[in-house]
A and B are shown apart, each in its own frame.
Chain A
């Protein structure tokens, strides 16, 4: 019996639909792998395969799905990687998870993550760091590190993650898989334990672009429970293009190699050449305000987070530290329940919103955001896709960047401006540097996911990256 977990999600779905593969057998194979996982990718794994339902006949055909811890899953621990929600079992399921289950993808497991999605290395989890399958002394990236390690390590066919400033794309890049951040509003946020409301988006982490398109196509759609969700104007199609003729790629003027590891930059330039061989043109585009992206992001995201995390007060759910008075109950609960990075961002966010500082920080950051969004709109008048390396480095060692928060924040340099603009972007593996995966990021205007997936598919074929090579 060949290893059914070697199939991509699409291949497995086709096999099940054709009657060549049993969905329960597939689930069991993955379940066993997930239960035996040594990368600490999981916070919960299903006990057994679900009974076959009508849904198994749906488009996702029973291919099991790993879901990031912060998605509410009824009756199943949903902790957002935090101690303050340890063991919390919600009474409802997140809309996007429910939608995917109805389309035929049963819940395999919940994946580990940076606490409240704050981090770029998955070292901020209350449930321990996640290890990179390519090198277990290194981080898988974050905050969706568990989802990335699960897919890259081969113990899940595909996974759901969330991206706020790069938390799908960067771990995809560091683990050699595909990660897509949708247009803001394309996927419902109802049931996603919030980090930064105006930036959070759910998205797929998969072995290849086809799987990403297949999963993403079932995720979109207006949800009446989320006021900010929109009806995506296009049906997401499985990409087939093998060339990039007529595609204009734009490289931001600020990308010069400075601040980027030489190997990462080399892979980037090679990928550009490959794209040109496939018929694409490459030109420079100015994004003059992108340099302020990190600063604006590290005001807006913590500010929204400081408000979103205020509900964790020990009153209705989660951790409570008993105290004789209300104020002490609040402060001790939150002291004991939140990790260091979360506390830092709550403090930063509270400060930025506080009396006397709002205009200088939050007010300014919101305007910088407008400028960045306008930069991209202007760029898309002359190019179809803006491309950059996904991250400035390959996977770094555990503990290598934990001493200085600022150093960690720099991991998001190329992903953050895209999040601020609310536009979609994908990361695909473009090669290796020092035997570690390097990611190539492609961003497009709002609702251009089909074009992005199409271009990514063509490049992926040409690059021929072996995503399974790193599995230890």
Chain B
């Protein structure tokens, strides 16, 4: 159903590290769930419109009017690492 390689691929997409054990377990569990969900992939539903929005309402828009911003210290308050008024992160270019 879903093998280790697929699990690793999906884990990469989701930025989730999985130990070897976890990969194996995940493959089993996901396969089991997918086995049940599979039934809907077999249904013939081409002429049924998808529900992409539950509420049948359009144009919930707001006026182009300024609202108060967070003071910077509040914006940064929960940050794990801060420098020069910004959120500090390892650089995307740096590799392991």
Per the 8 Å Cβ criterion, residues 303-354 of A in contact with B are 306, 310, 313-320, 323-332, 334-335, 338, 343-344, 346-348, 350-351, 354
**A154 on the interface (CB 8 Å rule)?**
no
Closest to A228 in B: B55
Per the 8 Å Cβ criterion, residues 53-96 of B in contact with A are 53-55, 57, 60, 62, 70, 74-75, 77-81, 87, 89-92, 94-96
With a 10 A CB-CB cut-off, give which of A332, A365, A409 has the most chain B CB atoms: A365
B88 to chain A, nearest CB (A): 9
A-B contact pairs, 19 of them (CB 8 A): A292-B39, A298-B33, A310-B14, A310-B15, A326-B89, A326-B92, A328-B17, A331-B15, A331-B16, A332-B17, A334-B17, A335-B18, A347-B10, A348-B34, A351-B30, A354-B13, A366-B51, A367-B50, A369-B51
Q: How many angstroms between the C-alpha atoms of A327 and B13 in the bound complex?
A: 11
Option from B15, B45, B78 in Cβ contact (under 8 Å) with A368: B45
Option from A184, A328, A329, A347 in Cβ contact (under 8 Å) with B30: A347
A258 partner residues in chain B, CB cutoff 8 A: none
Closest to B91 in A: A326
**A274 on the interface (CB 8 Å rule)?**
no
Closest to A364 in B: B40
**A3 on the interface (CB 8 Å rule)?**
no
Closest to B79 in A: A316
B45 lies within 8 A of A295 (CB): no
Q: How many angstroms between the C-alpha atoms of A305 and B90 in the bound complex?
A: 26
A283 partner residues in chain B, CB cutoff 8 A: none
Option from B36, B62, B89 in Cβ contact (under 8 Å) with A329: B89
A370 to chain B, nearest CB (A): 5
B 24-42 binary contact with A (CB < 8 Å = 1; else 0)? 0010011011101101110
How many A-B residue contacts, CB cutoff 8 Å?
A: 161
A366 partner residues in chain B, CB cutoff 8 A: 50-52
Q: How many angstroms between the C-alpha atoms of A132 and B78 in the bound complex?
A: 34
A103 partner residues in chain B, CB cutoff 8 A: none
B73 to chain A, nearest CB (A): 10
**A20 on the interface (CB 8 Å rule)?**
no
Option from A295, A325, A334, A404 in Cβ contact (under 8 Å) with B90: A325
B15 to chain A, nearest CB (A): 4
Q: Tell me how many residues of B have a C-beta within 8 Å of chain A.
A: 52
Option from B7, B15, B62 in Cβ contact (under 8 Å) with A327: B15
Option from B33, B45, B96 in Cβ contact (under 8 Å) with A328: B96
Option from A230, A296, A316 in Cβ contact (under 8 Å) with B87: A316
A46 to chain B, nearest CB (A): 21
A 357-376 binary contact with B (CB < 8 Å = 1; else 0)? 00011011111111101000
Q: How many angstroms between the C-alpha atoms of A135 and B78 in the bound complex?
A: 39
B36 lies within 8 A of A295 (CB): yes
Residues in chain A within 8 A of chain B (CB atoms): 88-89, 91, 184-185, 198-199, 224, 227-228, 230, 292, 294-296, 298-299, 306, 310, 313-320, 323-332, 334-335, 338, 343-344, 346-348, 350-351, 354, 360-361, 363-371, 373, 404-406, 409, 422
Option from B29, B45, B62, B70 in Cβ contact (under 8 Å) with A224: B62
A350 partner residues in chain B, CB cutoff 8 A: 10, 13-14
B41 lies within 8 A of A364 (CB): yes
B2 lies within 8 A of A91 (CB): no
A422 lies within 8 A of B55 (CB): yes
With a 10 A CB-CB cut-off, give which of B33, B48, B81 has the most chain A CB atoms: B33
B60 partner residues in chain A, CB cutoff 8 A: 227-228
B49 lies within 8 A of A370 (CB): yes
A346 lies within 8 A of B87 (CB): no
Option from A185, A320, A406 in Cβ contact (under 8 Å) with B32: A406
Q: How many angstroms between the C-alpha atoms of A184 and B11 in the bound complex?
A: 32
- The 7 A-B residue pairs with the shortest CB-CB distance, nearest first, are A366-B50, A317-B78, A320-B80, A331-B17, A227-B60, A335-B17, A330-B15
A328 partner residues in chain B, CB cutoff 8 A: 17, 96
B13 lies within 8 A of A348 (CB): no
Q: How many angstroms between the C-alpha atoms of A306 and B15 in the bound complex?
A: 11
Option from B22, B29, B74 in Cβ contact (under 8 Å) with A405: B29
Q: How many angstroms between the C-alpha atoms of A324 and B81 in the bound complex?
A: 14
B30 partner residues in chain A, CB cutoff 8 A: 344, 347-348, 351
A313 lies within 8 A of B15 (CB): yes
> Beyond the given A354-B10, A364-B45, could you list 11 further A-B residue pairs with CB under 8 A, ordered by the A residue number?
A296-B40, A325-B90, A326-B91, A329-B90, A344-B30, A347-B14, A366-B52, A368-B45, A370-B50, A404-B32, A406-B32
Q: How many angstroms between the C-alpha atoms of A166 and B45 in the bound complex?
A: 26
Closest to B12 in A: A331
B39 partner residues in chain A, CB cutoff 8 A: 292, 295
A363 partner residues in chain B, CB cutoff 8 A: 50
Option from B51, B55, B90 in Cβ contact (under 8 Å) with A323: B90
A155 to chain B, nearest CB (A): 30
A198 partner residues in chain B, CB cutoff 8 A: 53-54
Known: A299-B40, A331-B17. A367 touches B48 (CB 8 A): yes
B62 lies within 8 A of A326 (CB): no
B32 lies within 8 A of A184 (CB): no
A320 lies within 8 A of B13 (CB): no
